[in-house]
Amino acid sequence: MTPEQIIFYVFAALVIISALLAVVVKSLVRSIFLFFVTLFAVAGLFVLSLGDFVAVTQIIVYVGGVLVLMLFAFMLSSKELLNTLELVKTRYSAVQNIPAIVLSLALFFILVFALVKSNVNQLDWINGGNHLSVSDNTVQIIGINLMTNYLFPFEVASVFLMMALIGAAHLARKDKAE
Amino acid sequence: MIPLSNFMMLSAALFVIGLYAVLVKRNVIQLLIGIEFMINAALINFVAAGKSDKNYMGGQMTALFTIVIAAASVAVALAIILNVYKYYKSIDPDKLNKLRD
Amino acid sequence: MEQHDIIPVVSLLAVLMPLLSFVLCMFFVPKSISGKVAVSSIAVSFIASCFVFFKIWNAGNIHIQHHWFTLGQTSWDVGLLLNNLSALMILLVSGIAFLVHIYSLAYMKGDENIDRYWGYLSLFCSSMLGLVIADNLLLIYIFWELVGFSSYLLIGFWRTRDAAVQANKKAFIMNRLGDLGFLLALMILYSQFGTLDIEKLFGDGGLFHLSQFTSGEWIAPLGHISYVWLLVCGFGFVFGALAKSAQFPLHTWLPDAMEGPTAVSSLIHAATMVAAGVFLLVRVSPIFDSTVLITIAVIGIFTAFMASTIALVQNDIKRILAYSTISQLGFMMLAIGIGNNGAAIFHLATHAFFKCLLFLCAGSVIHEMHYAKNKLDADCDHQDIRNMGGLRKMMPLTFVTMVIAALALCGIPLTSGYLSKDAILISSFEWATTRSFAAKLIPYLAMLTSWLTTFYIARLIFKVFYGELRIQGDKTERLIHEAPRFMLMPQLFLAVCSAFFLFSVNPLSYENTWLLKVFPGSVALERIHSYHTVIPALLNLFAVLIIYFAYIQYARKEKAMFRENTWLYNFALNGWYFDEFYHQAIVRPVTYVSKFSFSIDRKVIDGLVDIVGKSGVLLSSIAGWLDRKLIDGFVNLAGRAAAGLGNFFRSFQSGRIQYYLAVMIFVVLTFFVLRYFSPAI
């Protein structure tokens, strides 16, 4: 077992465990925080895949942005919302879960099956293509690509963000005596 | 080197967990978290596959843009959730059933 | 038309006129004129029979036949046989019937069911007349039954009275018993000879005379059977005659038959129907061999003796006369038994007259007593002689005629009864001379019976007509007067007939009677001269003494001679306990058996029917349960299944987004599975 593999398995276990816990716990706060842990573990996995810039971006945007946004939205909403959140009924949850579990497992097996059958590891461009090495400067590559190959999506993404901003702001406005 | 299939299996598992959360949770915010899980699973996939693409950095670029989109969607979704709560007085997805037959 | 052809037609007329009257009186004619219809029809019948008698008597037989029906190989004819015997009987029967019809006009006046009475009486006359001129035994049997049936109807005429109903049932059943014997004899005769025609069987050169009796076998044209069957045949006829003529052991019906109207009693049970038995025996007399004849004689004399002892102590006027009838019929049977058919028929004729007269006079007395009783509102039996007395002052003509009849019954000289009774007694003595000691007892018993007869009839006369009237009341004597004219006239006529001159010129010797000359005795009897003088003298001397004795006892002393509580008295009073015996031995077991079978019928058969019914109900309830649970259950199941299915499918449209999402993923998964694992898609 190379250290690389050990790290991989540790981060993988972290992802899986925290994700599972996040979906199992009833309380919202706890699931948000477990989500937080999952995001960090995913970022670690990104680093392991030599995508360091993406990992950092994930931490900054996802953890620092999305997660914090959710926390603030949850915490700064009205009391009724909080109360409602606490009073989650658990009457039929045990029975209702079974179809969902079955479906999820079925999908998992299908995905794994497709994975195995398609023999992903032996693909030409994965085996023989130009791999990233550890000593590469990914930021530089990303920067160059962003301005040349992916310029259009870059611009569109900015417009999109503006749309989202305006839309969210409008949606969340307070209605004053309509 | 970690083979690609390991990453992909991991991503499949994360995706399925996110799907489970979407199907089961009684709280729309936890539903949202489930959706995020699914997005993150896709991200792992992209980045793991992008390791073998030095020219175009396709995987990592897509991952970046996806992160951006995901953030935007979360923002809009939370706004929608606030409005839904104002109307339905509840955030249980089962209660949001005015679209039924 | 030749005279020879008219006679059968006229005799047929005599038979059919009363039948026509029966039909008219029962169904068509109103009550007021039914009497006139009946009397006129019997008058026509009487005139026709007179004509037939004068033409046929001693002038040869007439035998007419006509084909009736064919059964397979055998053919039966119906016809009439007119010989001396039938001519005499037809005259006798229609004559007496005519007189009784006239009497009934007065006696039954005011009765509500008078049309039925005339109808039944006419039916009886028609059947009796038919019986005496029938030419074959089957026809005689048919008329025999009809006569029995009419007797049944007439005895029970007042059918609301229980005693009358019981009496007519008894009479009919006993008659039927006798008819079994008659039928058996008919069957034997038919199997032997193939015919039942009287002329063919018993006429000169008839089939019966041609049959031989050798060494215990009876050889006849058609059959070859043991001699015993001849005896059986004879006993069969005897049994039939015993029932009809009320001899021991089938005699108990006649005293009870007195429940009918007195006119009926006089016609049927004194003169005609009971004579049918004697008539039958005379018709078929060639069959009887010595064993049967002895039996007839013994039964006859025993019955005569028994009946006269019973008559000694009876108190009802009609019952005394009934037992007297039984006794006199016993004499006639005795005459047949000793072989003197002529004497039997002679006694039958004279007995018809004086017994009928006795009954008619008794009827007048009863009629007047009943009238007096109703006027006085007295509570007594108007037929009981102990309640009567001194009636000769109030009903002189009835008294005179009744005395004449009584003298005839006793056999006092100058009456017809003397002639016929002497004929029987003397010939019985002659018969017994050549026989054993036991046979010699019979004539002496006959003499004793004759003295007893004298005693009881004298008792009756003295108790009814002498002494003082025993019903008390104001001026009771003035209430009772002479009988009405229609009742008196027949009585007077019959009184004249009871005297000797109708039958013989010589009042003291019977041998010259024209009647007897025609019937030769079957067994030639040696005429023993001494018997012809000693016996009548002895008989009549004692008879006179007895009459005087009875006069002293009953007319003067007014005290009962016989102590009333001795065993002998009770034995005689209850008819030698024959009724009791028959009741215990026959009636009670039969009733028991019928009750038993009724209970079986009710429990077993009705039980079975009940079980079937209950099981039907059970089956139907089971079917109902099945229907309810299974069939309705199926229907309900279908309904519930549809509802469940509908509810199931309805739940798909719940509005829950997670549910919709799950369904979508399920469909996608299915697509993936089918894509990967099935080569088809």
Position C251 pLDDT exceeds 80: yes
Burial of C4 (0-12, 13-18, 19+ CB in 10 A): exposed
| B54 DSSP assignment | T
Q: Does some domain include residue A162? A: yes
Position C523 pLDDT exceeds 50: no
Domain count, chain A: 2
Q: Are C18 and C129 in contact (CB under 8 A)?
A: yes
pLDDT band at C522 (very low <50, low <70, confident <90, very high): very low
Q: Are C143 and C134 in contact (CB under 8 A)?
A: yes
Query: Would the CB atoms of A117 and C676 count as touching at under 8 Å?
Result: yes
Between vectors from CA C668 to CA C663 and to CA C673, what angle results, nearest 5°?
120
Query: pLDDT higher for C558 or C185?
Result: C185
User: Distance between alpha carbon B95 and the CA centroid of its chain, in Å?
Assistant: 23
How many H helices and E strands in chain A?
Answer: 9, 0
Query: pLDDT higher for C379 or C615?
Result: C615
- Chains that contact A by 3+ CB pairs under 8 Å? B, C
Q: Does some domain include residue B39? A: yes
Q: Are B26 and A89 in contact (CB under 8 A)?
A: yes
Position A41 pLDDT exceeds 90: yes
The shortest CB-CB distance from A164 to any of B1, B72, B90 is to B72
Q: Does some domain include residue B95? A: no
Position C60 pLDDT exceeds 70: yes
Query: Would the CB atoms of B44 and A45 count as touching at under 8 Å?
Result: yes
Q: Which residues of C601-626 are buried (b: 16+ CB within 10 A; e: fewer)?
A: eeeeeeeeeeeeeeeeeeeeeeeeee
Between vectors from CA A130 to CA A126 and to CA A134, what angle results, nearest 5°?
100
Q: Are C66 and C237 in contact (CB under 8 A)?
A: no
Position C109 pLDDT exceeds 50: yes
Burial of C518 (0-12, 13-18, 19+ CB in 10 A): middle
Q: Which residues of C387-409 are buried (b: 16+ CB within 10 A; e: fewer)?
A: bbbbbbebbebbbbbbbbbbbbb
Q: Does some domain include residue B25? A: yes
Q: Are C25 and C122 in contact (CB under 8 A)?
A: yes
Position B51 pLDDT exceeds 80: yes
Least confident stretch, A168-172, C227-231, C379-383: C379-383
C49-58 pLDDT, tens per residue? 888 888 888 7
Q: Are C415 and C347 in contact (CB under 8 A)?
A: no
Residues A77 and A138 in one domain: no
Q: Does some domain include residue B53? A: yes
The shortest CB-CB distance from A131 to any of B29, B51, B83 is to B51
pLDDT band at C569 (very low <50, low <70, confident <90, very high): confident
Query: Would the CB atoms of A38 and B44 count as touching at under 8 Å?
Result: no
- The boundaries of the domain holding residue A65 are 1-83
CATH code (residue B64): 1.10.287.3510
Position A82 pLDDT exceeds 80: no
Query: pLDDT higher for C531 or A171?
Result: A171
Residues A5 and A64 in one domain: yes
The shortest CB-CB distance from A107 to any of C658, C665, C676 is to C665
- Shortest distance, CA B39 to any CA of chain A (angstroms): 11
Q: What is the mean pLDDT of residues C326-346?
A: 89
Residues A1 and A79 in one domain: yes
Partners of residue C676 in chain A, C-beta under 8 Å: 110, 113-114, 117
Q: Does some domain include residue B96? A: no
Query: Would the CB atoms of B101 and C653 count as touching at under 8 Å?
Result: yes
Q: What is the mean pLDDT of residues C251-268?
A: 87
Least confident stretch, C129-143, C307-321, C376-390: C376-390
Phi and psi dihedrals of A149, rounded to 5?
-80, -35
Partners of residue B96 in chain A, C-beta under 8 Å: none
Nearest to C307 by CA among C318, C320, C290: C320
- For residue C415, the cross-strand partners are C499
Q: Does some domain include residue A96? A: no
Phi and psi dihedrals of B32, rounded to 5?
-60, -40
- Shortest distance, CA A178 to any CA of chain B (angstroms): 14
C274-327 pLDDT, tens per residue? 788 889 998 888 888 888 888 999 999 999 999 999 988 888 889 899 999 999
Least confident stretch, C107-121, C392-406, C536-550, C552-566: C552-566
Nearest to A145 by CA among C145, C488, B60: B60
- The residue behind tokens 């009456």 is C415
Share of chain A above pLDDT 70, in %: 87
Share of chain C above pLDDT 90, in %: 16
Nearest to C331 by CA among C431, C420, C451, C236: C420
Instruction: Name the strand (E) or helix (H) holding B3.
Output: none
Position A88 pLDDT exceeds 60: no
Nearest to B27 by CA among A25, A34, A174: A25
Q: Does some domain include residue A175? A: yes
Q: Is C82 helix (H, G, I), strand (E, B) or coil?
A: strand
C66-86 pLDDT, tens per residue? 888 888 877 788 888 888 888
Position C464 pLDDT exceeds 50: yes
Q: Does some domain include residue B41? A: yes
Position B37 pLDDT exceeds 90: yes
In C, minimum Cα distance to A99 occurs at C662
- The boundaries of the domain holding residue B25 are 4-88
Domain count, chain B: 1
Which residues have a Cβ under 8 Å from the Cβ of C74 and sit 6 or more positions away? Answer: C194
Q: How many CB atoms are located within 10 Å of the residue C416 CB?
A: 27
Over its C-alpha atoms, chain C yields an Rg (Å, rounded) of 39
B18-31 pLDDT, tens per residue? 999 999 888 888 89
Interface test with C, best of B17, B20, B22 (most C CBs within 10 A): B22
Q: Does some domain include residue B100? A: no
pLDDT band at C578 (very low <50, low <70, confident <90, very high): confident
Measure the CA–CA gap between C608 and C605, rounded to whole angstroms. 5
Q: Does some domain include residue A110? A: no
Position C363 pLDDT exceeds 60: yes
User: Distance between alpha carbon C601 and the CA centroid of its chain, in Å?
Assistant: 33
Q: How many CB atoms are located within 10 Å of the residue C348 CB?
A: 26
Q: Does some domain include residue A3? A: yes
Query: Would the CB atoms of B100 and C653 count as touching at under 8 Å?
Result: yes
Share of chain A above pLDDT 90, in %: 49
Position B6 pLDDT exceeds 90: yes
Measure the CA–CA gap between C129 and C150, rounded to whole angstroms. 13
Computed over every residue of chain C, the mean pLDDT equals: 83
Q: Are C322 and C463 in contact (CB under 8 A)?
A: no
Pairing state between β C224-226 and C74-82: unpaired
Q: Which tokens hold the place of A148?
A: 């040349």
C419-432 pLDDT, tens per residue? 888 888 888 888 88
Position A59 pLDDT exceeds 90: yes
Q: Does some domain include residue A149? A: yes
Q: Does some domain include residue A10? A: yes
pLDDT band at A127 (very low <50, low <70, confident <90, very high): confident
Q: Does some domain include residue A128? A: no
- Shortest distance, CA C661 to any CA of chain B (angstroms): 7
Measure the CA–CA gap between C511 and C508, rounded to whole angstroms. 9
Phi and psi dihedrals of C234, rounded to 5?
-60, -45
Q: Which tokens hold the place of C168?
A: 């007519």
Residues A1 and A78 in one domain: yes
Residues A1 and A76 in one domain: yes
Position A28: which residue type? Answer: L
Pairing state between β C62-71 and C217-219: unpaired
- Chains that contact C by 3+ CB pairs under 8 Å? A, B
The dihedral sign for the CA sequence C1, C7, C8, C10:
positive
Q: Which tokens hold the place of A172?
A: 């969340």
Helices C84-107 and C3-23: crossing angle in degrees, nearest 10, is: 30
CATH code (residue A42): 1.20.120.1200
Q: Does some domain include residue B14? A: yes
Nearest to C260 by CA among C324, C193, C322: C322
Which residues have a Cβ under 8 Å from the Cβ of A123 and sit 6 or more positions away? Answer: none
Partners of residue C672 in chain A, C-beta under 8 Å: 110, 114
- Shortest distance, CA A100 to any CA of chain C (angstroms): 7
Count, residues in chain B: 101
Q: Are C285 and C342 in contact (CB under 8 A)?
A: no
ipTM of the complex, rounded to two decimals: 0.89
- Shortest distance, CA C640 to any CA of chain A (angstroms): 25
Query: Chain C residues with CB-CB distance to B under 8 A?
Result: 653-658, 661-662, 665
User: Distance between alpha carbon B65 and the CA centroid of its chain, in Å?
Assistant: 14
Computed over every residue of chain A, the mean pLDDT equals: 85
- A95/C contact by beta carbon, under 8 A: no
Between positions 605 and 664 of C, the ones with CB within 8 A of A are 658, 662
Measure the CA–CA gap between B22 and B35, rounded to whole angstroms. 7
Q: Are A20 and B10 in contact (CB under 8 A)?
A: no
The shortest CB-CB distance from B22 to any of C654, C655, C661 is to C661
Which residues have a Cβ under 8 Å from the Cβ of C215 and sit 6 or more positions away? Answer: none
| C558 DSSP assignment | -
Q: What is the mean pLDDT of residues C3-11?
A: 78
Nearest to B44 by CA among A110, A107, A43: A43
Highest mean pLDDT: which of A39-48, C158-167, C231-240, C488-497? A39-48
Task: Quickly list DSSP for C175-229.
Answer: HHHHHHHHHHHHHHHHHHHS--BHHHHHSTT-HHHH-EEETTEEE-SS-EEETHH
Instruction: Name the strand (E) or helix (H) holding A56.
Output: helix A52-57
Measure the CA–CA gap between C167 and C381, rounded to whole angstroms. 19
Position C248 pLDDT exceeds 90: no
Highest mean pLDDT: which of A3-17, C90-104, C359-373? A3-17
User: Distance between alpha carbon A141 and the CA centroid of its chain, in Å?
Assistant: 24
Residues A140 and A63 in one domain: no
Query: Would the CB atoms of C669 and A99 count as touching at under 8 Å?
Result: no
